Amino acid sequence: MGGPDDVTLRRSQLATPGSDPKMIERAPDSGADEAFIDLEDSVAPSEKIEARENAIEGLIEYDWSDTRPCYRMNGVDTRWFYDDVIEVVGRAGEYLDTIMVPMANNPETVATVDNLLTQVEANNDLPVGEIGLQAQIESPEAMTKVADIARASDRLESLVFGPGDYTANVGAAGLTIGSGGGYPGHYWHYQLARIAHAAKAQGLQVIDGPYAEIEDAEGFRDSCRWASQLGCDGKWAIHPSQIEPANETFAPSPEEAEKARRIVDAYAEAKEQGRGAVSVDGEMVDEATDKMARGIVARAERAGIL
């Protein structure tokens, strides 16, 4: 379980259709912290097998050293799921960081993928357990069982909210994914807070899903900011223009990072002197504040801000 100093940046997750080789080629140099090659919703049934081949080729051929490589498999209730794991991991597993599991409606779904993945790793002489999982919370069942899902596998690294399918599954009003236009407040406050509580209890990250109004830059920034305030670590980018604002919003500002460092330094000095609290910039700092500040410093250092 990760602590405040254990930081993996997932400020931006670039959605990359597996049916588009050009987009796969550009993904590693996009500036996103992570890119997932999508074999699920963005790929038509007639293109599933070709998209899988595109994903394998893209993972092998391109340099992913600056962007974490992930792919989103098809759901466990589809006829493509089995080969999505067998073929992609079997042929390109050494280049892979994580697999995104859609419609992770219950812990059994995550366990099913984990068990199959373990066999594929073993049969292909890959380190067993090294490939991580990210589970999408997209249904009322998943939201109800989210705490159990967060505990379902040691491979889990994040929970990802899927507002599109969730909206459809609960019958909520709206046709624009992720926006909640007209709602008097943060449309997804309850859902993201619930996911965040379950995820953080297990040391997992939380990623907010897509914001479909690509030309609404300010709305996207608002969505990032609200998610960040609820404990999310990043957000999907469904267009390259959304990468930079996500990276900025889910990282500390230079001013916040400098203040956090002053707090860490001042509290360390206070502890050496046998004191449990100290004043920094007119604010009382204790152990809880120090823990928050160390998390900010770690994220700032990882993002190159400090």
Residue with tokens 């609404």: 216
Global pTM?
A: 0.85
- End-to-end CA distance of the chain: give it in Å, rounded: 25
Comparing 38-52, 238-252, 262-276, the range with the smallest average pLDDT is: 262-276
Comparing 52-61, 101-110, 162-171, 282-291, the range with the smallest average pLDDT is: 282-291
| Whether pLDDT at 5 is above 60 | no
Task: Grade residue 179 by pLDDT with cuts at 50, 70 and 90.
Answer: low
Q: Which domains does the chain have, with CATH numbers?
A: 12-250 (3.20.20.60), 254-303 (no CATH)
Strands (DSSP E) contained in the chain are 12-17, 34-38, 68-72, 98-101, 132-137, 156-161, 205-208, 234-237, 278-280, 283-285
| Whether pLDDT at 184 is above 60 | no
Position 3 scores a pLDDT of 42
32-56 pLDDT, tens per residue? 999 999 999 999 999 999 999 999 9
Question: CA 103, 104, 109 angle in degrees (round to 5)?
Answer: 120
| Whether pLDDT at 186 is above 90 | no
